[in-house]
């Protein structure tokens, strides 16, 4: 177990769990993500005289990562712990450990939800590709997918104590634009004309948010665990915030779809069905005009993430080489943003 | 005898992808190797045509700045002094197309775009449309060129080597 100082972790876990004769039977590091580090630990111990075999998930702040150096894993922990009190499918959290000495960074522990994570290709052009080959299972997952999104958007975040995420008021759209502008600036490439044009356009066309919800920020296939046709846990809450729920809707109608002609949202269900089910489950009416703004904001965010990856690649040592590959995709996201701006531009002539 | 940087990189890339990668058993190590191949493939055109790329961006951006400044001046909009000074400097013709100037050009065009949006209400609908058409056209010219040099390369193999 070279990832940690094993004796130290054994002592720590024994004390935390009130365990005797604890040993670590397996360690698995998830290499999928490039930000927060995720480990699965297999533990074997005795408690109250009885043998226990337990797998737990550790989510740790990285020494270096894709986004920037402002990682705070306690945010995810607090949000997930709050959502444990709701019907949203999330893993049960155990504890948060701020001491960076134990594992090399603050972390939290949560239950290991057994199941599969269907991970879609980032761009699929094969019309016959099926992320979920069984139609009945796909429809069942589609229903759970929408239901959980509706639940997230309708939780009483104030009652759950989630105000600490920052309450944007009706200016949620401006806050998001400024947030991504700031992230792009922090990437350190100076001002880029396309970014400036897009930010100016977005600020000229801001929409007023009449509802503030808990927003996941990266809600899609690849970020849930399924088993027996049900979604058991929504994962990867790194971009969670309070904001306009349309932000998550626009993201879902973006690139994480199956290939045409189906173009299923997150490879699960048709767009119209997704929107209808969502409106019915959440009671939130989707304003299609406002949604257009969030589509553009979504493309702006994609450029922001690409810039951040490029900034990390340029300035940090020891990064996964795939971040370098990812940073190169900003050429694609730049073009996507411009296409979106052209769409509005053409419409302005018609109007 | 001359072997271009592009040819060297292509030969290295081919050997890594087709001769070395199949011998690597670890999924993770193979994904790193194929990522290196992907990055080499992206660099080939960008190295050999680097001076042309920089020159094209500077010329395109300067022309765009000039049009924005003209549009603003015609409508008595605020034109930052820094922009005017930059155009005068470039107009003198004694500039070197290097990375520093390209960065400065980006800054200046960004400033011009901000100035346009700040003065947008001085433009009637047709003039605003024409100005935005010109700006988007200029930005797209660069973005299309960059996209044209992007090669999907080993991206699918990297995904297949997830680990």
pLDDT for A5-18, tens place per residue? 889 999 999 999 99
Q: Do A334 and B42 touch (CB under 8 A)?
A: no
**Mean pLDDT, to the nearest integer, of A201-225?**
95
Query: What pLDDT is stored for residue A157 in this prediction?
Result: 98
What is the predicted ipTM? 0.86
pLDDT for A101-139, tens place per residue? 999 899 999 999 999 999 887 666 788 889 999 999 999
Which positions in chain A touch B143 (Cβ < 8 Å)?
Answer: 194, 331, 334-335, 338
Query: What pLDDT is stored for residue A130 in this prediction?
Result: 92
**Mean pLDDT, to the nearest integer, of A179-195?**
91
Residue to mutate among A197, A296, A329, A333, with most B CBs inside 10 A, is A197
Say whether pLDDT at A310 is over 70: yes
Q: Is A22 helix (H, G, I), strand (E, B) or coil?
A: strand
Query: What pLDDT is stored for residue B163 in this prediction?
Result: 44
pLDDT for B48-103, tens place per residue? 778 888 999 999 999 999 999 999 999 988 899 999 999 999 988 888 889 899 99
Q: Which domains does chain A have, with CATH numbers?
A: 6-111 (3.30.200.20), 135-350 (3.90.1200.10)
Which positions in chain B touch A195 (Cβ < 8 Å)?
Answer: 110
Which positions in chain A touch B109 (Cβ < 8 Å)?
Answer: 193, 196
Q: How far apart are CA B60 and CA B85, in angstroms?
A: 18
Looking at CA atoms only, how far is residue B84 from chain A in angstroms? 18
Query: What pLDDT is stored for residue B44 in this prediction?
Result: 80
What mean pLDDT value characterizes chain A?
Answer: 91
Strands (E), chain A: 20-30, 37-47, 50-60, 93-97, 107-111, 213-215, 224-227, 230-234, 241-243
Looking at CA atoms only, how far is residue B38 from chain A in angstroms? 7
Q: How far apart are CA B90 and CA B152, in angstroms?
A: 37
Q: How far apart are CA A293 and CA A188, in angstroms?
A: 27
Helices B125-149, A193-204: crossing angle, 10 deg rounding: 140
Measured in residues, chain B has a length of: 163
A-to-B residue pairs, Cβ atoms closer than 8 angstroms = 94
The encoded tokens of residue A26 equal: 């397996």
Cα-Cα end-to-end distance for chain B: 43
Rounded to whole angstroms, what are the CA distances from A304 to A193, A316, A329? 14, 18, 11
Say whether pLDDT at A168 is over 80: yes
Query: What pLDDT is stored for residue A67 in this prediction?
Result: 64
Say whether pLDDT at B139 is over 90: yes
The encoded tokens of residue A241 equal: 């915030």
Looking at CA atoms only, how far is residue A190 from chain B in angstroms? 7
**Mean pLDDT, to the nearest integer, of A33-44?**
86
Which positions in chain A touch B136 (Cβ < 8 Å)?
Answer: 197, 338, 341-342, 345
**Residue pointed to by tokens 């003198």:** B92
Query: What pLDDT is stored for residue A285 in this prediction?
Result: 95
Q: Is A216 helix (H, G, I), strand (E, B) or coil?
A: coil
Backbone angles phi, psi at A26, to 5 degrees: -155, 150
Which positions in chain A touch B80 (Cβ < 8 Å)?
Answer: none
Say whether pLDDT at A1 is over 50: no
Under the banding of pLDDT at 50, 70 and 90, the label for residue A254 is confident
Kind of pairing between the strands at A213-215 and A20-30: unpaired
**Mean pLDDT, to the nearest integer, of A166-175?**
90
Which positions in chain A touch B133 (Cβ < 8 Å)?
Answer: 345
Looking at CA atoms only, how far is residue A325 from chain B in angstroms? 6
Which residue in A190, A328, A338 is closest to B103 by CB distance?
Answer: A190
Question: By CA distance, what is A330's nearest residue in B?
Answer: B147
Backbone angles phi, psi at A238, to 5 degrees: -65, -30
Kind of pairing between the strands at A50-60 and A107-111: antiparallel
Residues in B lying within 8 Å of A, measured between beta carbons: 28, 31-32, 35-36, 38-39, 42, 61, 64, 103, 106-107, 109-111, 113-114, 117, 120, 125, 129, 132-133, 135-136, 139-140, 143-144, 146-147, 149-150, 155-156, 158-159, 162-163
pLDDT for B8-44, tens place per residue? 888 888 889 988 898 998 888 898 899 899 889 888 8
Looking at CA atoms only, how far is residue A157 from chain B in angstroms? 36
Query: What pLDDT is stored for residue A6 in this prediction?
Result: 87
Say whether pLDDT at A30 is over 90: no
**Mean pLDDT, to the nearest integer, of A268-281?**
97
Say whether pLDDT at A351 is over 60: no
Residue to mutate among B110, B151, B159, with most A CBs inside 10 A, is B110
Q: How far apart are CA A229 and CA A10, in angstroms?
A: 36
């Amino acid at each position: 177990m070279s990832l940690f100082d094993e004796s130290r972790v054994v002592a720590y876990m024994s004390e935390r769990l009130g365990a005797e004769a604890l040993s670590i039977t397996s360690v698995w590091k998830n290499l999928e993500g490039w930000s927060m580090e995720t480990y699965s630990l297999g533990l074997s111990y005795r408690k109250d005289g009885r043998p226990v075999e337990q797998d737990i998930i550790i989510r740790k702040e990285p020494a270096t990562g894709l986004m920037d150096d402002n990682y705070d894993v306690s945010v995810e922990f607090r949000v997930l712990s709050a959502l444990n009190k709701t019907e949203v499918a999330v893993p049960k959290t155990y504890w948060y450990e701020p001491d960076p000495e134990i594992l090399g960074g603050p972390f939290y522990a949560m239950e290991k939800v057994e199941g599969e994570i269907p991970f879609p290709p980032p761009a699929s052009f094969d019309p016959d590709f099926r992320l979920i080959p069984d139609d009945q299972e796909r429809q069942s997952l589609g229903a759970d997918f929408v239901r959980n999104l509706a639940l997230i958007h309708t939780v009483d975040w104030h009652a759950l104590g989630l105000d600490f995420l920052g309450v944007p008021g009706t200016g949620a759209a401006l806050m998001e634009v400024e947030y991504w502008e700031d992230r792009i600036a922090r990437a350190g490439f100076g001002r880029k004309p396309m970014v400036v044009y897009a930010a100016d356009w977005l600020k000229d066309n801001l929409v007023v948010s009449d509802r503030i919800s808990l927003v996941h920020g990266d809600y899609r296939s690849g970020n849930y665990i399924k088993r027996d046709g049900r979604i058991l846990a929504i994962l990867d809450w790194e971009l969670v915030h309070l904001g306009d729920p349309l932000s998550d809707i626009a993201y879902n109608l973006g690139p994480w779809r199956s290939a045409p002609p189906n173009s299923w949202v997150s490879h699960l269900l048709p767009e119209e069905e997704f929107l209808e089910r969502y409106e019915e489950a959440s009671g939130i009416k989707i304003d299609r005009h406002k949604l257009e703004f969030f589509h553009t904001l979504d493309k702006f965010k994609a450029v922001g993430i690409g810039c951040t990856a490029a900034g990390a690649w340029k300035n940090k040592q020891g990064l996964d080489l795939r971040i370098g590959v990812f940073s190169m995709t900003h050429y694609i996201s730049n073009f996507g943003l411009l296409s979106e701006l052209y769409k509005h531009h053409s419409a302005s002539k018609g109007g | 005898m001359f072997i271009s940087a592009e040819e060297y990189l292509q030969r290295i890339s081919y050997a890594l992808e087709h001769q070395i990668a199949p011998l690597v058993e670890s999924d993770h190590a193979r994904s790193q190797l194929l990522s290196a191949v992907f990055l080499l493939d992206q660099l080939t055109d960008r190295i050999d045509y680097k001076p042309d790329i920089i020159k094209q961006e500077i010329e395109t951006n300067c022309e765009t700045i000039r049009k924005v400044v003209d549009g603003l001046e015609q409508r008595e909009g605020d034109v930052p002094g820094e922009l005017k000074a930059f155009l005068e400097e470039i107009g003198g013709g004694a500039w070197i197309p290097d990375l520093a100037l390209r960065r400065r050009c980006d800054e200046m065009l960004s400033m011009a775009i901000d100035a346009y949006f700040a003065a947008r209400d001085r433009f009637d609908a047709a003039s605003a449309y024409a100005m935005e058409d010109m700006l988007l056209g200029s930005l797209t010219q660069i973005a299309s060129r960059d996209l044209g040099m992007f090669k999907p390369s080993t991206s699918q193999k990297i995904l297949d080597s997830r680990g």
